[in-house]
Amino acid sequence: MASHLFRCLGLRDRAGVQTRILRVPISAVPPLPRSMYFSLLDRNLISTEISALVKKGAVVKAPRHPSGFVSPVFLVDKKGGGSRLILNLKDFNVFLLYRHFKMEGIHLLRDILQEGDW
């Protein structure tokens, strides 16, 4: 189910990690993104960023589907200049099963690392 949904979204996880989906986000009309209006410069930047992601294999083009889920994109400025493309998956996350993940700190490394682990 998750791999089918990722294909529909045009996304794939390069590490092969899959996630469980509570319910498939299907609607007669895909939810409208909050903002779809971009300046010509922003449209060109978005197009360039998407092309770079396609070239890297991070995203693939997906066929149009009448009950697809549309997540908005926007640009944020980078500290050093330029822009970064953001795919807002906030609305999509409602359909994902939450799994708690505890990030261990560096202090634990001393206890778990053994000779030959590096």
- Top-level CATH class of 2-102? alpha beta
* Residues shown for the chain: 118
Distance set, CA 61 to CA 10, 35, 39, 47, 68 (Å): 5, 22, 23, 13, 13
Domain ranges of the chain: 2-102
pTM of the model: 0.54
Both tokens assigned to 83: 């822009």
Q: Which two tokens stand for residue 45?
A: 């930047």
Per-residue pLDDT tens digits of the chain, which is 118 residues long: 444 444 444 444 444 444 555 556 554 455 555 556 788 999 899 999 989 888 998 888 877 776 667 778 889 999 999 889 998 888 877 777 777 878 778 888 777 888 887 6
Among 11, 83, 79, 78, which Cα is nearest to 47's? 83
